[in-house]
Amino acid sequence: MPSVQAKPPDKVAKLADMLSAMGSEPRLRIMQLLLSAHPDGLVVTEIQDELDIPNSTLSHHLEKLKGEDLVRVQRESTFLRYTANTDALQELLQFLYAECCTRNKAVKREQIVRLCK
């Protein structure tokens, strides 16, 4: 039975790509770090120092996250500052929340709110 809040197939594909982009341990760690530094974000050297990821590998991961609009980048002189795109994450979480917590109540809303506090 289709959900009342069903998303168009292209929207679901975009959300799947976003989840896939975060589906590697280094990229999930990058997202976690950028969220902890929100709203200011971090420059590449700060991310590299914190996560101990080689520069070329870090660039690849950041480009993948940027390509899926999960992070934003801004040039500051010779540095690149990355921030988490919280709007994109909110959209992704709302999609998951709508299915698990409203339609079939697989997870109780109160449990999620309690976990987020």
pLDDT tens column, 11-57: 889 999 999 999 999 999 999 999 999 999 999 999 999 999 999 99
**How long a stretch of residues is the chain?**
117
Q: Tell me which residue of 84, 85, 93 sits closest to 15, measured CA to CA.
A: 93
**Distance of alpha carbon 11 from the chain centroid:** 16
Please report, for the chain, the start and end positions of each structural domain, with discontinuous segments joined by +: 9-85
Mean pLDDT for 56-74 is: 96
Q: Residue 11: what residue type?
A: K
pLDDT tens column, 81-93: 999 999 999 999 8
Contact present, 11 and 62 (Cβ < 8 Å): no
Q: Residue 96: what residue type?
A: L
Contact present, 53 and 86 (Cβ < 8 Å): no
User: pLDDT at position 2, please?
Assistant: 43
Q: Residue 39: what residue type?
A: P
Contact present, 50 and 60 (Cβ < 8 Å): no
Q: How far, in Å, CA of 39 to CA of 45, rounded?
A: 17
Model pTM score: 0.81
Whether CATH 3.90.1150.10 fits 9-85: no
User: pLDDT at position 41, please?
Assistant: 97
